Every structure is written in C-alpha cells, then in structure tokens.
Amino acid sequence: MASNPVQSRSFHLPTLVVCFLLATVIWLLNALNKESYTMTVQYPIQFVYDHTKYVPTTQLPKSITVSVTGSGWNLIRKSWLPFRSDPVRYVVAHPLETTSINTASLAAQLTDHTQDVHVNFVAGDTLDLSFDRLTVKEVPLVVDSTKINLADRVVISSLINVSPSSVRLSGPARLLRAMPDTLRLTIPARRLSNNYDEELRLNLPRHPLIQASADRALVSFEVTELLQPLPSSKPARKK
C-alpha cells in the first residue's frame, strides 16, 4: 500500500526545522568565537581633576567612541552593556592648559584597562575640554530704600533688616567677574502703611555653572504714621 505523501512531509518537517536551528546555533557559536571582529563601541569615561579649584565650562562627555577588535562574544558584551564596565579614569593634571583629550594617551590607557579586547583608536568626537578657575564671590544684599512706595504721612522708623545680608556665589571666574558687586532688592508693595516682613526672591543669574547660597531673603522694617506733615525743605521767602 502506497504511503500518504502529505503524512510523510508532515513527519519530516519538524525534524528539518530542528536540524536547521541546530546548524544555525553551531555556526553562530563558531562565528562568535573568532577574534577578528572590529566594532565601534561607547566606553564610559571619568575625568579626574581638582574639583575644589577648577570647574568645567563645557559639559564633560560621559562616554567616548572607541574602535576595538576582539571576539564576537566580547564585542557583543561591550556594545550591549557598555556602561556596566568600569569607566576609564582620565586625569586632567593642568585643567587651565588642557583644551582637548589626548587620544593617543587615552587609547594606551584603554588597552591596559580592557584585557578582553584590543583598542585600535579613539574616535575624534566630543574631545574638546574647557576649564576655568573655581572662585567664590560674596555679594551684599541691599534694599533700595528710594523705591519703597509708602502711603501718605508714613515714614520708615527702623533699620531695614535683610537676612541673609549677603549671598555667596560660586562658579567660573570669568562669569563671576561679570556679576555686580551689590545686589539691590526692590520692595514690591504699593502705598505701604504697615510694618513690613516679607521674603523676597533674589534676582540671581540663571546659569547652570553658578551656584548661590540662597535664592530668597527676608526683609523687615517698621513704619510710623506722622501726626504732622514733614516740614518743607524749601526756605521761607522774606517779605
């Protein structure tokens, strides 16, 4: 009795699929074991410098582009999980004199840092560096009393207290040199007739590299209503 061709094909199809998958896995394992693959990967980097004396004026890269050669397994691990590797530490010994990353020195350092792949070169993107000296500037806070809007027959009868009396700014020396030596506060109240005790927002520069010790100040003073109008400052005319 002749066999059914449809049953024969359905019987051999799973076997063929399994054989194909096994052959693919074996080929892939053999290919990944070869050492002649080259790939460009992102490798984490950490810059080492004196944070108490210098500040970067441009954002430092968190990773660098590196051309590496190695086995397929190691390259897959470097390309899929780059930031699980320990970052390479790049020392900036003289920040004010350093304008870019020394790629030759970094490539040699990466060769010692990575034992499982060979570093060919470091790509030349995002390699510019810029530092400035970190400085601190103490800026006094002063209320502009000439612009306090008082009600009729009301005068300021106490000292104008400001707390804190100054704000400390820290950042690149070039930016702080452009800051004013005194920061003047303006009382926003109109026709003030009662004692003043309010917290005012400081008009500080909005720059990510400048840090301020405070962004608000408490201003207080007392006022008094005069029973008689203030004497005129004009001299009386002689008859």
Check whether 185 has a pLDDT greater than 90: yes
55: enclosing H helix or E strand: strand 54-56
Closest CA to 42 of 89, 75, 91, 90: 75
Amino acid 19: pLDDT: 65
For the segment 30-54, what is each residue's pLDDT rounded down to a tens digit?
Answer: 544 555 667 777 888 999 999 999 9
Angle at the Cα of 195 from the Cα atoms of 192 and 197, rounded to 5 degrees: 100
Closest CA to 67 of 110, 30, 108, 38: 38
Whole-number Å distance between alpha carbons of 52 and 166: 22
Q: Phi/psi at 33 (nearest 5 deg)?
A: -80, -10
Q: How many CA atoms lie within 13 A of 211 on its CB side?
A: 7
3-state secondary structure of 94: coil
Amino acid 35: pLDDT: 58
Name the least confident of 5-14, 102-111, 144-153, 180-189: 5-14
Residue 134 pairs in a beta bridge with 172
Average pLDDT, stretch 154-171?
95
For the segment 83-138, what is each residue's pLDDT rounded down to a tens digit?
Answer: 456 788 999 999 999 999 988 888 888 877 776 677 788 887 668 899 999 999 99
- Please tell me whether the peptide bond between 188 and the residue prior to it is cis, using omega within 30 degrees of 0: no
Amino acid 83: pLDDT: 43
Whole-number Å distance between alpha carbons of 41 and 217: 50
Amino acid 119: pLDDT: 78
